Amino acid sequence: MGLFDKKEPETIEVAGHALVCPICGGTLFWSREAQLNTSMASFFNLDWANKSATCFVCAKCTHISWFLG
């Protein structure tokens, strides 16, 4: 499907609040998972053991907001 999981961006809620882009005020986002690689894990080929984060990419300005957990 390409770079983003869904074809159309959507509104996102985080901790009971609508996500608003801190840069442009946009309210539509694409979501995707990203792995948080560390140099030590990469050195030993253990990238699979690194944590991952959920990223929301603003559909208006492409600012990326990262969330752990």
What is the set of domains in the chain, with CATH numbers? Answer: 13-68 (2.20.25)
| pTM of structure | 0.72
CB proximity list for 9: less than 8 A, separation 6 or greater: 28, 29, 30, 57, 59
If you average pLDDT over residues 48-62, what whole number do you get? 85
Q: Looking at the predicted structure, is the pLDDT value of residue 46 above 50?
A: yes
pLDDT confidence bin for 53, thresholds 50/70/90 = confident
C-alpha–C-alpha distance, residues 28 and 9, integer Å: 5
